[in-house]
Amino acid sequence: NAGVTQTPKFRILKIGQSMTLQCAQDMNHNYMYWYRQDPGMGLKLIYYSVGAGITDKGEVPNGYNVSRSTTEDFPLRLELAAPSQTSVYFCASSSSGRLTDTQYFGPGTRLTVL
């Protein structure tokens, strides 16, 4: 089991560029999440999905888009990158949506927008 994998690990973008952060899990989890973590701060939920074809906004969705065409994959799209999107992005998955359910996290993608 690879768990939750994320690519790339690091990326530098110029203002206005676009990119897709990839996330995949092999645990057959229905729930998947995208978080961002700014330096010295806690996590903020960007988008989440409760199953293939179903996505919803979290606390900070502006500037991002997601899709969930399969159970395994949950890519995060950044359109027109801005310096405010410089952050570490974590993808996570869980079998249910309960707060006590273990969320398995990927290693993160460190994104810098210059």
Partner 1 sequence: DAKTTQPPSMDCAEGRAANLPCNHSTISGNEYVYWYRQIHSQGPQYIIHGLKNNETNEMASLIITEDRKSSTLILPHATLRDTAVYYCIVRVASNNAGNMLTFGGGTRLMVKP
Residue closer to partner 1 by CB (options 42, 62) is 42
Name the one range near partner 1 by CB under 8 A: 13-21, 67-75, 78-86, 101-109.
Answer: 101-109
Q: CB 40 → partner 1: shortest distance, Å?
A: 7
Rounded least distance, CB 18 to partner 1, Å:
25
Burial of 100 (0-12, 13-18, 19+ CB in 10 A): exposed
Q: What is the Cβ-side half-sphere exposure of residue 70, based on CA atoms within 13 angstroms? A: 10
Using a 10 angstrom Cβ sphere, with 0-12 exposed, 13-18 middle and 19 or more buried, the burial of residue 30 is: middle
How is residue 85 written in tokens?
């999107």
Q: Hey, which residues between 16 and 55 contact partner 1 (CB under 8 A)?
A: 31, 33, 35, 40-45, 48, 50
Rounded to the nearest angstrom, the gap between the alpha carbon of residue 77 and the centroid of all alpha carbons in its chain is 9
Comparing CB distances to partner 1, the nearer of 33 and 64 is 33
Counting contacts by CB under 8 A, is residue 61 touching partner 1? no
**Alpha-carbon radius of gyration of the chain:** 13
Contact residues: partner 1, CB under 8 A: 31, 33, 35, 40-45, 48, 50, 56-59, 90, 92, 96-108
